[in-house]
Amino acid sequence: MAVVGQVLRAEWVKIRSVRSTVWTLGTAVVVTVVLGVVICTLTRKDFDGMPEERRLAFDPTNMSFAGMGLGQLAMIVFGVLVVSNEYGTGMIRTSLAAVPQRGVFLFCKMLVATSLVFAVGLATSFAAFFAGQAALGGHRAHLGDPGVLRAVVGGALYMTMIALFSMAVATMLRSPMLSLGILMPFFFLISNILGNVSATRRIGRYLPDQAGSKIMQVVAPVNDETPYGPWGGFGIMAVWTVAALLVGYLLLDKRDA
Amino acid sequence: MIELMGLTKHYGDKVAVDGLTFTVRPGIVTGFLGPNGAGKSTTMRMVLGLDNPTAGAVRIYGRHYRQLKDPLRYVGALLDAKAMHGGRSAANHLLCLARSNGIPRTRVDEVLHLVGLTSVARKRSKGFSLGMGQRLGIAAALLGDPRILMFDEPVNGLDPEGIHWIRHLMKNLAAQGRTVFVSSHLMSEMALTAEHLVVIGQGRLLADTSMAEFIRQNSRSYVRLRSPDRERLLDVLHRAGVRAVAGRGGVLEVDGVPAERLGELAAAQQVVLHELSPQQASLEEAFMQLTAGAVEYHAHNGGRPGPGRGMPPRPVVPERALSGGAPPGGWGAGWQRKRS
Ligand SMILES: Nc1ncnc2c1ncn2[C@@H]1O[C@H](COP(=O)(O)OP(=O)(O)OP(=O)(O)O)[C@@H](O)[C@H]1O
Ligand SMILES: [Mg+2]
């Protein structure tokens, strides 16, 4: 449909013409790569002192993504701002007057932002991998090793899905403060707590980030009893995201702008 | 052409727009008047499909807004000068709107030039003054060269030169055969620009009339008379076949008879007059009177009871004709009928 092409171009103009795009995505790249390198460097120094079982389960690929936990917060900010920039400013009324088919509007906005995040995510993921492996020295993994390429591309997919989930939540909630106030503590604290306390781990591992991050693992941790594989986990994350998008779309379509 | 058919909007218990039915026609400027909270902005949002009507419908050249392909080419609207992202430059703001409706990029520079913002095209709109923001909003409305233009209080925040400019812009757009629908609180402003008037109060239609007709009916001139011997004066006037109407505070008002003649009549019968003065009721007073019952947010002067500044100093509609019968010329009859 011709209209979709026009709206995609419009959304691209929007996204490239605000500063928040550059600084949020830039922060995500820098934090993820730098923190990954720092942790890989420290790990190499500690490696010989580690207990046997941890050395056996050592996952150099996943180690280079250690910065992702913090870097994803910048991705969340990006996702939230892409949507709530419209609401915070009243731009949404101008936008919906120009594109009254709200489904088309939402789809195009998400597609443009998601494509951009995926491109940035791929660059980040490969940069984090190569820099991290270099820092690990002799304990490094190679891109050709089984499962490694999947984990590296998976890093980009994970970042993309986190951003998309954030966009969906912001579409539901509209307010940037409310969206960030829920997403940030959720992904940074609550999900971690639920996933690390044994009593709640069974539930915790079905949360979007916990399930999705499985795709970045090459070697399973000790005593791993996760009932899904890397793609299964990513699928769980995708289901969460699709559900959030659906609710966001239904709300956008029904309510007054 | 915009057609509203029984358009109604409830926000919870609040009825913002109540069964509006009228048509905005091409080729003229139609003024949309009403006091604060009357429902003007809500009506305009519904025209653009932004708010969903509780009942009724809006048709633009027979179609619902959401059915329009490239709607900016049909309808250009300025609803709120702040409806843009402050971090985006003026040119980029217009470019994203142009892209979404397949409007060529060159048109962006054209409209920027038209509203006089070429020199700040690359500046972020956050730093714009109220008037510059308003101009950018107007540029966005003109972008698609639409047949219908809708402006919500466009003179807000404009300096006298800006007001003059927009007045001419609206008239020119209408002269080109476009439909121009513009809201305002100011009757005097509309008297200068609009050819047709739609007045609402508390969401309901109060008047739908041509400006000329409204002026003819409402710019009433009359003579005010005050006498210590009011009964005798009435008697004298009555015998001379002059119809007097009681105004506030014991004054009498007479339509259609020159002050000279009234003075001579009183002198002939030796009635003492304390006042004999020709009066002209302003359109603003007529508008306030029309909407007085529908003003939601009255201002109050220092807690003094009674009507505040939102009310005319004196009722334009005479309190009651003493001599019976309809007043000559049927003043106000037109719109009064529409109120019920
Ligand atoms: N989103 C909303 N939620 C609840 N009430 C609303 C909403 N929008 C408008 N209203 C109410 O509807 C009524 C009409 O508001 P509207 O803004 O349309 O009036 P208006 O004629 O544009 O007034 P003004 O001249 O002050 O701009 C007001 O009482 C307002 O409080
Ligand atoms: Mg308004």
Of the pLDDT bands very low, low, confident and very high (cuts 50, 70, 90), residue B297 is low
State whether the beta carbon of B37 lies less than 6 angstroms from ligand 1: yes
Q: Which of the 8 DSSP states describes residue A190?
A: I
B77 and A CB contact within 8 Å = yes
User: For residue B184, which ligand has an atom nearest its CA?
Assistant: 1
Instruction: Determine the residue of chain B that is closest to A104 in CA distance.
Output: B100
- Contact call for residues A89 and B86 (beta carbons, < 8 A): yes
Give the closest-approach CA distance of B260 to chain A in angstroms. Answer: 60
Token output for A66: 């250690």
Instruction: Determine the residue of chain A that is closest to B72 in CA distance.
Output: A98
Of chain A, the percentage scoring pLDDT greater than 90 comes to 70
Choose the closest CB to A100 out of B65, B86, B96. B65
Of the pLDDT bands very low, low, confident and very high (cuts 50, 70, 90), residue B338 is very low
pLDDT for B288 beyond 90: no
Tracing tokens 């001379």 back to the chain, one arrives at: B240
State whether the beta carbon of B40 lies less than 6 angstroms from ligand 1: yes
Q: What is the pTM of this model?
A: 0.83
Of the pLDDT bands very low, low, confident and very high (cuts 50, 70, 90), residue B309 is very low
Separation of alpha carbons A112 and A120, rounded Å: 12
Separation of alpha carbons B9 and B64, rounded Å: 17
Hey, of A93, A95, A106, A252, which one would you mutate to test binding to chain B, going by the most B CBs within 10 A of its CB? A93
Between B315 and B153, the higher pLDDT residue = B153
Element (H, E) at A209: helix A208-212
Atom of ligand 1 nearest to the CA of B200: 21
B311 and A CB contact within 8 Å = no
Nearest to B200 by CA among B189, B208, B192, B211: B208
Atom of ligand 1 nearest to the CA of B44: 18
Give the domain ranges of chain A. Answer: 68-122+143-254
Between B287 and A30, the higher pLDDT residue = A30
Token output for A248: 């966001």
Atom of ligand 1 nearest to the CA of A256: 1
Q: What is the pLDDT of residues B116-152, one digit of tens each?
A: 999 999 999 999 988 899 999 999 999 999 999 999 9
Tracing tokens 């942790």 back to the chain, one arrives at: A39
Concatenating the DSSP letter of every residue in A4-49 gives HHHHHHHHHHHHHTSHHHHHHHHHHHHHHHHHHHHHHHHHHHHGGG
SS (H, E, C) chain B: CEEEEEEEEEECCEEEEEEEEEEECCCCEEEEECCCCCCHHHHHHHHCCCCCCCEEEEEECCECHHHCCCHHHCEEEECCCCCCCCCCEHHHHHHHHHHHCCCCCHHHHHHHHHCCCHHHCCCEHHHCCHHHHHHHHHHHHHCCCCCEEEEECCCCCCCHHHHHHHHHHHHHHHHCCCEEEEEECCHHHHHHHCCEEEEEECCEEEEEEEHHHHHHHHCCEEEEEECCCHHHHHHHHHHCCCCEEECHHHCEEEECCCHHHHHHHHHHCCCCCCEEEEEECCHHHHHHHHHHHHCCCCCCCCCCCCCCCCCCCCCCCCCEECCCCCCHHHCCHHHHHHHC
Mean model confidence pLDDT for chain A: 92
ipTM of the complex: 0.90
Q: What is the largest CA-CA distance in chain A?
A: 64
Separation of alpha carbons B43 and B20, rounded Å: 9
Separation of alpha carbons B140 and B160, rounded Å: 22
Give the closest-approach CA distance of B97 to chain A in angstroms. Answer: 7
Which domains are present in chain B? 2-217 (3.40.50.300), 220-280 (3.30.70.100)
Q: What is the pLDDT of residues A9-54, one digit of tens each?
A: 999 999 999 999 999 999 999 999 999 999 999 988 888 888 887 7
> Using CB atoms within 10 A of its CB, is residue A159 exposed (0-12), middle (13-18) or buried (19+)?
buried
Instruction: Determine the residue of chain A that is closest to B141 in CA distance.
Output: A94
B-chain residues near A17 (CB < 8 A): 88-89, 92, 95-96
How many C-alpha atoms does B28 have within 13 Å on its Cβ side?
Answer: 18
To 10 degrees, what angle do helices A91-98 and A68-89 make? 80
**Residue ranges of chain A whose CB lies within 8 Å of a chain B CB:** 2-3, 6-7, 9-14, 17-20, 85-86, 89-101, 254, 256-257
State whether the beta carbon of B209 lies less than 6 angstroms from ligand 1: no
- Contact call for residues B316 and B336 (beta carbons, < 8 A): no
Cβ within 8 Å, pair A3-B69: yes
pLDDT attached to residue A2: 60
Element (H, E) at A204: helix A201-204
pLDDT for B103 beyond 50: yes
B286 CA to centre of ligand 2 in angstroms: 21
B-chain residues near A101 (CB < 8 A): 66
Between B317 and B134, the higher pLDDT residue = B134
pLDDT attached to residue A192: 78
Between A78 and B84, the higher pLDDT residue = A78
Tracing tokens 């217009």 back to the chain, one arrives at: B94
pLDDT attached to residue A194: 81
Choose the closest CB to B85 out of A12, A91, A254. A91
Of the pLDDT bands very low, low, confident and very high (cuts 50, 70, 90), residue B335 is very low
Q: Residue A231: beta bridge partners?
A: none
- Contact call for residues A145 and A218 (beta carbons, < 8 A): yes
- Kindly give the residue spans of alpha helices, DSSP state H, lying in A90-185: 91-98, 102-136, 148-173, 176-185
Between B190 and B97, the higher pLDDT residue = B97
Token output for A249: 């779309």
Q: What is the pLDDT of residues A101-146, one digit of tens each?
A: 999 999 999 999 999 999 999 999 999 999 999 998 888 888 989 8
Separation of alpha carbons A137 and A135, rounded Å: 5
B100 and A CB contact within 8 Å = yes
Residue A8 corresponds to which amino acid? L
pLDDT attached to residue B326: 36
Of chain B, the percentage scoring pLDDT greater than 70 comes to 85
Candidate from B11, B78, B79 with most ligand 1 atoms within 8 A of CB, to mutate: B11
- Contact call for residues A112 and A8 (beta carbons, < 8 A): yes
pLDDT attached to residue B298: 61
Between B323 and B284, the higher pLDDT residue = B284
pLDDT attached to residue B186: 84
Separation of alpha carbons B110 and B143, rounded Å: 9
Cβ within 8 Å, pair B100-A6: yes
Atom of ligand 1 nearest to the CA of B45: 18
pLDDT attached to residue B185: 85
pLDDT for B81 beyond 90: no
Separation of alpha carbons B315 and B301, rounded Å: 19
Q: Return the residue whose CA atom lies nearest to atom 7 of ligand 1.
A: B11
Rama region for B256: left / alpha / beta (φ>0; ψ in -120 to 50; rest): left
Q: What is the pLDDT of residues B197-246, one digit of tens each?
A: 999 999 999 999 998 888 777 767 789 999 998 889 999 999 988 888 88
pLDDT attached to residue B89: 95
